[in-house]
Amino acid sequence: MTRSTAPPRAWAGRLRAVLTVLVLAVVGYAGGMATTNLWPITTETDNFSAAVRVSPSPFQANVVHTPTVFGDIDLHFAGPLPAPGIEARLQVKEEITDLFTRGRVDVDALTPQEGEVREAMNSGLRNLALKFVGGVLVTQAAVVGLWLLGRSHLPWRRSATAVGVATVLAVTVPSLAAITTYRATNFAAFEATSLLGTVRGSGGMFTDIQGQAQRATPYVQNLLALSDALQNEFVPAETAADPGARFLLISDVHGMNYYPLVQQIVEDEEITAVIDTGDMLNFGRVQEGELAGMYSAIADLGVPYVFVRGNHDALNATDESLLRRLEQIPNVILLEPTAGQYVEADVAGVRIEGFNDWRYFAEVNDDFGAQQAAAAERFAEGTQGWPLPDVLVSHQPYALRPLDTGGVKVNGHMHAPDLDGNRIQVGTFTGGGLVNHFQVPETTGEDEETAGELVGQPYAFDILAFGTDCSVQSLTRYTYRNLVSGRPQFDNVTVINGNRVAADPEEGRTCGADLGVSTQEIVPVPEEELSQEVDDDPAVLLEPPVADLQEPAVVDPAVVDPAVVDQAPATARPAGAAP
């Protein structure tokens, strides 16, 4: 039996044709992009004009990037294909300077009308697409013309086919990606940097920057108004709706009493509870917090303070001094009040669980990964058969990786904010504490506002909002600076759509402040009993095994009785037990 094969030359010719089409498509795309950058289109609202182009940066895929001298505005989208980034360079119209001569102009007067921003963007994108297609065609024609120049034999049919296919690819692929990506349903995050990061209505949290802007320059007012309008236009309604619960996520305080700032955030942002992922201290000594006045400041917050221990919060593997001190504070909830005892906190209907980092200050260990895996395994065994929490908290990110959760995981330790799937890594609230800062020397000509500032890790915190259906509504991330010198200023505010962080919870749940706060000790279900229950009724895992528990105590959100948390006697770990 013989098998027919094409001659090698035929395959080589086909491969050459495919490569030619791909090269022409890439060249055409580059030509279209270059055309929009050399001759950008202009779109306008009443107060602004913007030069719009296709971004040449691959790092801005799926992003509408708007740079300004007062900060950048970025709209992030998530689509099935990586769409070309779009850059819009804003300018305040010259005509609007007439308004400035008439006296004070407030932000409301300059805010774009409803639909004005969307209409301008749609018009701009249509014109941008036409210019891009024109650039592709001109580039293809130029390349093919040079290719055929001087040839005695002109293979018109083959050339026309190659150019046609390449043009279709260069136009349809990025166009299809853009059409399927830049939709309101695919909105992922709104990000504003520097001064524009204050438009979310949190200006009073640090300083009234918007008020300062009104006194300083109307140009800043305009940019604030436009940033606010963009956020209102694209942030989904469910993300901006009144939440069922709002949690302030902080970590790695490292001995600095910034709790007056925490209290201000709690009041300004109507926070339901604070979640601290550990490293409250530097050297594992409770006296650090006493000297700094941290414990009394926590008691004054007026909301529950949920805590897990970090690796700087103990002197040795069995040291629970900080836990014993914190349990004396009425509003503190310890998720692992003593080794191996786990507590579920129900705050406004949101279920929160977590476990301590049983490392300690200055510990020497050749395999921290194995230690964290053991901590995760202990937690899994100690919560066997219990419903998955909405928020699972631990100091170390590695310990959270093998564990499941019904919502999000929250960790600190790394001193840098991050988001990995449903794992929220909280940055350091105090820049890592005073011992992690260094002094910037004052130099001749240095700005007096920043001269001598103590600098270290970026300051950061997050606000996690849950909807009334107990779904993750939004994650708002803040970074800021100049806190030590007393001139705090936002660097970045990012609002992330909750459906990009966690899946929807089971139906029928309700969350809200009227549900209050309750805690109960988690009692694992024996494996043989769990197997029998699953065989009898798989739905049994949907409810906690409350038959073996005390009735959960419901308390005022502002005062959480530590006795509620420690439902079993606190016992020290036996000497020599595994960390």
Q: What is the pLDDT of residues 323-352, one digit of tens each?
A: 999 999 999 999 999 999 999 999 999 999
How many contiguous H segments (helices) and E segments (strands) does the chain have?
Answer: 17, 23
Q: Are residues 188 and 248 in the same domain?
A: no
The per-residue pLDDT for range 492-513, each reduced to its tens digit, is 778 888 888 998 888 889 999 9
> What is the H or E stretch that residue 72 is in?
strand 71-77
Q: Would you place residue 467 in the very low, low, confident or very high pLDDT band (cuts 50, 70, 90)?
A: very high
Q: Is residue 504 part of a domain?
A: yes
Kindly provide the residue ranges of all beta strands, DSSP E only, lying in 467-537, ordered along the sequence.
472-481, 489-497, 517-521
Q: Would you place residue 471 in the very low, low, confident or very high pLDDT band (cuts 50, 70, 90)?
A: very high
**Amino acid 444: pLDDT:** 52
Q: Are residues 287 and 150 in the same domain?
A: no
Q: Are residues 490 and 533 in the same domain?
A: yes
Q: What is the CATH number of the domain that holds 431?
A: 3.60.21.10
Q: Are residues 199 and 244 in the same domain?
A: no
Q: Would you place residue 58 in the very low, low, confident or very high pLDDT band (cuts 50, 70, 90)?
A: confident
Residue 524: is its pLDDT beyond 70?
Answer: yes
**Mean confidence (pLDDT) of the chain:** 78
Query: For 356-360, what is the mean pLDDT?
Result: 93
Q: Is residue 499 part of a domain?
A: yes
Q: Are residues 335 and 464 in the same domain?
A: yes
**Amino acid 236: pLDDT:** 62
Q: Would you place residue 573 in the very low, low, confident or very high pLDDT band (cuts 50, 70, 90)?
A: very low
Query: For 199-220, what is the mean pLDDT?
Result: 42
8 Å CB contact between 292 and 257:
yes
Q: Is residue 180 part of a domain?
A: yes
Beta bridge partners of 555: 517
Q: Domain ends where: 211, 229, 264? A: 211
Q: Are residues 129 and 176 in the same domain?
A: yes
User: Which has more pLDDT, 194 or 390?
Assistant: 390
Q: Is residue 570 part of a domain?
A: no
Q: Is residue 510 part of a domain?
A: yes
| Structural domain that includes position 89 | 13-211
Q: Domain ends where: 162, 192, 211? A: 211
Q: Are residues 435 and 494 in the same domain?
A: yes
One-character DSSP codes across 320-350:
-HHHHHHTTSTTEEESSSBTTB-EEEEETTE
Residue 185: is its pLDDT beyond 60?
Answer: yes
8 Å CB contact between 467 and 237:
no
Residue 95: is its pLDDT beyond 90?
Answer: no
Q: Is residue 57 part of a domain?
A: yes
User: Which has more pLDDT, 79 or 328?
Assistant: 328
Number of folded domains that form the chain: 2
Residue 154: is its pLDDT beyond 70?
Answer: no
**Amino acid 576: pLDDT:** 32
Q: Are residues 255 and 316 in the same domain?
A: yes
The per-residue pLDDT for range 527-545, each reduced to its tens digit, is 777 666 555 554 444 444 4
Q: Are residues 137 and 253 in the same domain?
A: no
Does the pTM surpass 0.75? The reply is: no
Report the Cα–Cα distance between both ends of the chain, in Å, rounded. Answer: 70
Q: Is residue 234 part of a domain?
A: no
Query: For 55-71, what is the mean pLDDT?
Result: 81
Residue 199: is its pLDDT beyond 90?
Answer: no
Query: For 489-494, what is the mean pLDDT?
Result: 73
Residue 211: is its pLDDT beyond 50?
Answer: no
Q: Are residues 300 and 350 in the same domain?
A: yes
Q: Domain ends where: 169, 194, 211? A: 211
Distance of alpha carbon 553 from its chain centroid, rounded? 33
Q: Are residues 205 and 244 in the same domain?
A: no
Three-class SS state of 446: coil
Q: Is residue 382 part of a domain?
A: yes
CA distances from 456 to 353, 397, 428 (A): 31, 22, 10
Q: Are residues 343 and 407 in the same domain?
A: yes
